[in-house]
Structure 1
Amino acid sequence: MPRFAANLTLMYQEHPFLERFGAAAADGFQGVECLFPYEAPAAEVRAQLDAHRLTQVLFNTPAGDWAAGERGLAAVPGREAEFRDGLERALDYADTLGCRQLHVMAGIVGAGQTIAACEASYIANLTHAAQQAAARGITILIEPINTRDMPGYFLNRQDHAHAICLRVGAANLRVQCDLYHCQIVEGDLAVKLRQYLPGIGHIQIAGVPARHEPDTGEINYPFLFRLIDELGYTGWIGCEYRPQGQTRAGLGWLKPWLRATCKA
């Protein structure tokens, strides 16, 4: 049965960050993810994980100046040193948190930058990241993101992401498939899952078009959850959505799956 991880950046915003771990556990989650855990010392985050018997499934490496609109550094020529420093910080956090997957954001294609130059930087940085992460038993993930939410983002499509992984050729480099982004850019989700699941390391969900609970909008998630099970996926499914109100009030979609997991 699917294993769901609460995204503590988007969900449970009615609580301070470190209190969100307990709130998620109280609602039945056994795994959590977030965009960036760096606002709290790693030891304090680990204490919350241990106290509530949670697995830290995923977080992002530092993405540059987020407030200024930066969305990653891996495909940004000239920022290689900053990327490597951020990677080391993320790997140290991952070791402390027991997290075995890191998402490396590509970044925005800037004015005057060519796609070819960005891709060359991306390949070089991902090669370095995969090598450094492999030594610690960590998998690096890359994620296609839709250009409606993130205009100018370098990586948008599943085929491009999987082609990048093939070019790097590292066993610990895989694709993070967010079905919300995939639906907006490409659609045909069941076919995409059947085609690409062997190269997918993590799945995320949200309702389309508004990125609310997965039982809102145009995607038939119960059908996709059953398909994911049939295809033999054993990883986590990250709930990276913005609740319409209080997080707990919108978890009705999750309860049948939690009951099924308990019975299993």
Structure 2
Amino acid sequence: MPRFAANLSMMFTEVPFLERYEKAAKAGFTAVEYLLPYAFSVEEVAAPLAKYNLTQALFNMPAGEWDKGEKGIAALPGREAEFAKSLETTLAYAKATKVPMVHCMAGYAKGVDMAEAERVYKANLAKAADFFAPHGIKVGIEPINQRSMPGYFLRTLQQAVGYIEELGRPNIKLQFDFFHVQMEEGCVALKLRENYKYVGHCQLAGAPERNEPDTGELRYEYIFKVVDELGYPGYIGCEYNPKNGTEAGLGWFAPYKKK
């Protein structure tokens, strides 16, 4: 049976961030993920995990000036020093939360020479993988669809898998988001099977609206069956926008929640 992580950046937003851990636990989740923890201290994001017996499944590395629209810097020429500095910051939070994988966002490559962006991206990704490997931490890369984020550097599974194979670091993993794959490429279950050996983390949302998984065109009952058949051991991150309030939309989760 699949296991799920509540995404606290998108779910339970009816309450302040640090109160969302309790909400997730009471709703039956055993794990959480979120985008960026860095507005809070290491202690503030670690303590609720122990208090509510939750596992930290994933979070993102520092991703540039998020409030100004940036979505990562790994593929941005001229930001290499900033990227290198972010590794130490990430590690402090990773150690405190015992997270197994961090998401390295590539960023927008608009107006950038693509060959240079690719060179910088590969160098930064290799640096991150080598930095985190001694700590047992994986580095996730996630193709993001161009409808949601036009101009994002990493957009297809083929592109992501190509970098994983070329760089040859065993701790670089594919972050397989069913929503993004459906919106960019389709054939979600088939592509999950084809690329499963690279997968380190999965995420879900209904497509195309990105609401609960029981909305939209994807049949998640079948996808969850495939996930089980493949023996996926991790959590599936619930990275969706609740349509009419988080708790009102958790009917899909009832068969899977902690009793």
TM-score normalised by the shorter chain: which range applies?
Answer: over 0.9
Q: Distance in 2 between matches of 1:245 and 1:41?
A: 31
Q: Which residue of 2 aligns with 1:182?
A: 181
Amino acid of the structure 2 residue aligned with 1:50: A
Could you list the structure 1 runs, at least 4 aligned residues long, displaced by more than 4 angstroms after superposition.
none
| Alpha-carbon distance between aligned partners in 1 of 2:25 and 2:107, rounded to the nearest angstrom | 32
Consecutive unaligned residues of structure 1, counting only runs of 5 or more, are none
TM-score by structure 2 length? 0.98
Find the counterpart in structure 2 of residue 25 from structure 1.
25
Partner of 1:53: 53
Q: 1:21–1:49: 8 Å Cα contact kept in structure 2?
A: yes
1:53-87: per-residue Cα shift (whole Å, max 9, x none)?
Answer: 00011000011011222110101111000011112
1:11-22 pair list within 5 angstroms:
11-22=11-22
Q: Structure 1 CA distance, aligned partners of 2:190 and 2:86?
A: 35
Within 5 Å, give how 1:1-264 maps onto structure 2: 1-111=1-111, 113-258=112-257
Give how far 1:172 is off.
Answer: 0.4
Equivalent pair of 1:123/1:167 in contact (CA under 8 Å):
no
Q: Deviations over 1:197-238 (max 9, x none)?
A: 110000000001110000000000010001110111111100
Q: For the residues of structure 1 that align with 2:16 and 2:189, how far apart are their CA atoms?
A: 37
The residue type paired with residue 122 of structure 1 is Y
Q: Which amino acid letter does the alignment assign opposite residue 43 of structure 2?
A: A
Counterpart of 1:182 in structure 2: which amino acid?
V
Judge conservation of contact 1:208–1:219 (CA < 8 Å) in 2: yes
How far 1:154 moved relative to its partner? 0.2
Contact 2:101 2:137 in 1 (8 A): yes
Q: Secondary structure at the match of 2:257?
A: helix
- The code of the aligned residue for 2:45 comes to V
1:26-77: CA deviation from partner (whole Å, max 9, x where unpaired): 0000000000011111111111110000001100001101122211010111
3-state secondary structure, aligned to 1:245: coil
What is the CA distance between 1:7 and its match in structure 2? 0.2
- 1:157-208 Cα offsets, whole Å, 9 max, x none, are 0111011111111010001000100000000111101100110000000001
In 2, Cα distance between equivalents of 1:215 and 1:8: 19
What percent of counterpart residues are identical?
A: 50
CA-atom RMSD in angstroms: 0.9
Task: Please give the alpha-carbon distance, in whole angstroms, between the structure 2 residues aligned to 1:222 and 1:143.
Answer: 23
CA distance in 2, matches of 1:146, 1:193: 16
Q: Determine if contact 2:27/2:257 at 8 Å carries over to the other structure.
A: no
**How much has 1:92 moved relative to structure 2?**
1.0
C-alpha deviation, 1:258, in angstroms: 2.6
> What TM-score does the superposition give when structure 1 sets the normalisation length?
0.96
